[in-house]
Structure 1
């Protein structure tokens, strides 16, 4: 993984000292709330419903065991004994005291971590595929490219106060697992017919109040121009993006207003001024950054292991876990493993300090000391020997980290919602728990098969409900919490936005609504058809009809 150089460490240490003094002055009454707000946001600190919330950056989702232990220590010492994995691959703490935040940031800096630009109207944490560097379908390892973007965007003076927050996603694989189409800028790397590395550039994607999938602004950009072209996009956005209306400030609104052709024309005109300037990348620069990543010392192993195969046959529970939580690896004899943070009765994405310590131990014993967070709010051990999978499963199961539900209906993406967030219209976590309880039979879940269910507590869509096969959105209705349900959303290469099926539901109805949607699918599916495939084949009509059947007013009898 990426190791800080002296320059990286000095920047982070100086930012901690700076924020310590800013916090001191605020607590002493020397700074007003309005003066302190942009300063704390630059350091990932929000004021939520009950307490501050601190968002810790995990660039492209990559961590080492020492950092995981530090996150556990922070949870124990400064919070309530747990942390939360967000859909941006970051960690969040929901209960830190403001006076302690500078100490938390100092602790994080000691293990090469920070909270810089995890909030505010700036370029946020760059995300990528959780299987970057190990995926069999990978064209190029996107992590060095994501790191170049991180270094370029951190403290960029021109983009420190954009009209609104700005998000990048980078994909280096044939199959998009970074959801590039729902980002402000999505970079999809591929090789052309001559074997040259190119980028398909997506722009203007985003969810929230106005969900829009991005449009392709450049089909085959030479990789050397990744920064200069991105900078041109940002300059056009910074120049014309709305600053008078919070709800129309994202780049997706500007792209729609101008149209992709006019937006492209303006970007090209801007790019012409600095296309071959200082931001043009070289192979030497790429190699310099790539050398900052430590490579695992893989062993030469056979692709098959007799002991592993025997355990698959002997233990159904182990076989189910392997089917759902174990993933292909480009290195023979190795696999990637997803540790599920989706246990019934626990908020999706929450992980205790004890579990983080255990994850660190597992990473050191089985995965070269490295782990990754995912935008699905789980944790991945990326480099596990095939022969070690059974032992790892036993330990993970004992720690509550081996639920075999990855990609199933209880592997729910869910924002904290009204349980914590000031912006939320409704609670998300109790809805997730009610669905988990209704579908708590693993055999039933496996029979249903692949299904993505996402929940957001408000239109900001932190739970990505728009791209869930089933999406649930909390709405305010006469000062009560109600929930809209959509179907047909999907992430990946063939991404789509879900369609709302009709009027909203009370909280105690939602799980039953999901059950009726599943019933229609189970009755109508073709062999090998997933829920999303059936929705796309049949359309929403039969699902709507089943869900609202008991809401139809009775027909009046006609007098003879």
Structure 2
């Protein structure tokens, strides 16, 4: 069968990407933050056996790709994955599927990354599915400063935070300080008989919470750090850090503001980081947190 360029473009927009043999396609099946249930996994195995080449692979953004699909089977694949509530897609100049770490089960996880990412998926991946942008827009949610999902290399990256609530009056200046011994960043030190925390070094990982023998850090302020304009690839750009710690509701507002700013101010073919550099990060930051003051 002779497949035209127009046909390839159309099915790519639906989530079917041409294989390098020029004949077959890979179905890109969307997951919610990389999570599938057992029935969905069985379904994908069946799709691979019935319509593909028997293999199932995962993209770097935690979607599933099933290669080796014939053009004439594309509609059959859509129907088959829909049996278990799955869809194909995740391509084009739109909000892309959300990536999140497993912060809810990881020992270092500070926030419910999966819960937040599901909200973002519903509101912005599904809810903005018809909104065309200048280029693709990637969002990642990390549960702690370990940044396993590289939030700072996404168009918008979110990082869970626990800022230590330190009461210096309770510090006894212990010769062996539990906070200093615990801090992986070496942000804590002893000065004039008191433990101090260098906020320019502290990354709010939360590991020092409750480590003081005299309860000088009994609690924390929990929130989120947000990076914008990150990009990986041939032209790498580390995301610009917004100078504020956000609540969950504020994070959702920032995402919406960022997408709308990009849609209205971005140039076709321009990634969000390029838009930010053109407008200026100070102005962009002002626009992104305008509703949070």
Aligned-pair distance for 1:136?
A: 0.9
- Contact kept, 8 Å, 2:156 with 2:230, in 1: the verdict is yes
Q: For each residue in 1:368-423, what CA deviation from the matched residue of structure 2 results, as whole angstroms up to 9, or x when unmatched?
A: xxxxxxxxxxxxxxxxxxxxxxxxxxxxxxxxxxxxxxxxxxxxxxxxxxxxxxxx
Aligned-pair distance for 1:226?
A: 2.0
Aligned partner (choices 234, 238, 241) of residue 209 of structure 1: 234
- Contact kept, 8 Å, 1:123 with 1:159, in 2: the verdict is no
Aligned to 1:37: 9
Matches within 5 A, 1:161-560: 161-192=132-163, 193=165, 195-243=220-268, 246=269, 249-268=270-289, 271-272=290-291
Secondary structure of 2:246 counterpart: strand
- Contact kept, 8 Å, 1:122 with 1:164, in 2: the verdict is yes
Secondary structure of 1:53 counterpart: strand
CA distance in 2, matches of 1:228, 1:63: 28
- Contact kept, 8 Å, 1:202 with 1:218, in 2: the verdict is no
What 5-or-longer segments of structure 1 have no aligned partner? Answer: 1-26, 277-560
- Contact kept, 8 Å, 1:240 with 1:254, in 2: the verdict is yes
Structure 1 residues 155 and 57: CA distance shift in structure 2, 3 A: closer
**Runs ≥4 residues deviating over 6 A:** none
What 5-or-longer segments of structure 2 have no aligned partner? Answer: 166-218
Aligned-pair distance for 1:107?
A: 1.4
Q: For each residue in 1:331-372, what CA deviation from the matched residue of structure 2 results, as whole angstroms up to 9, or x when unmatched?
A: xxxxxxxxxxxxxxxxxxxxxxxxxxxxxxxxxxxxxxxxxx
Aligned partner (choices 75, 82, 107) of residue 109 of structure 1: 82
Using the size of structure 2 for normalisation, the TM-score is: 0.73
Secondary structure of 1:113 counterpart: coil
**Residues matched between the structures, number:** 236
Aligned-pair distance for 1:41?
A: 3.7
Answering whether residue 125 of structure 2 is matched by residue 154 of structure 1, we say yes
- Contact kept, 8 Å, 2:17 with 2:26, in 1: the verdict is yes
Secondary structure of 2:244 counterpart: strand
Q: Which has the higher contact order (CA 8 A, sep 6+)?
A: 2
- Contact kept, 8 Å, 1:170 with 1:186, in 2: the verdict is yes
Structure 1 residues 157 and 35: CA distance shift in structure 2, 3 A: farther
Q: For each residue in 1:85-107, what CA deviation from the matched residue of structure 2 results, as whole angstroms up to 9, or x when unmatched?
A: 11111111221112212211221
Secondary structure of 1:93 counterpart: strand
Aligned partner (choices 114, 134, 145) of residue 143 of structure 1: 114
Secondary structure of 1:73 counterpart: helix
Secondary structure of 2:161 counterpart: strand
Structure 1 residues 158 and 106: CA distance shift in structure 2, 3 A: closer
Aligned to 2:41: 68
Structure 1 residues 200 and 254: CA distance shift in structure 2, 3 A: same
Aligned-pair distance for 1:132?
A: 2.9
Secondary structure of 1:62 counterpart: coil
- Contact kept, 8 Å, 2:51 with 2:73, in 1: the verdict is yes
Secondary structure of 1:111 counterpart: coil
CA distance in 1, matches of 2:44, 2:59: 14
Aligned-pair distance for 1:155?
A: 4.0
Secondary structure of 2:36 counterpart: strand
Using the size of structure 1 for normalisation, the TM-score is: 0.40
Answering whether residue 124 of structure 2 is matched by residue 124 of structure 1, we say no
Structure 1 residues 97 and 223: CA distance shift in structure 2, 3 A: same
CA distance in 2, matches of 1:135, 1:216: 24
Secondary structure of 1:61 counterpart: coil
Structure 1 residues 156 and 37: CA distance shift in structure 2, 3 A: farther
Q: For each residue in 1:180-229, what CA deviation from the matched residue of structure 2 results, as whole angstroms up to 9, or x when unmatched?
A: 11100001122343644311110010112311111102430121222211
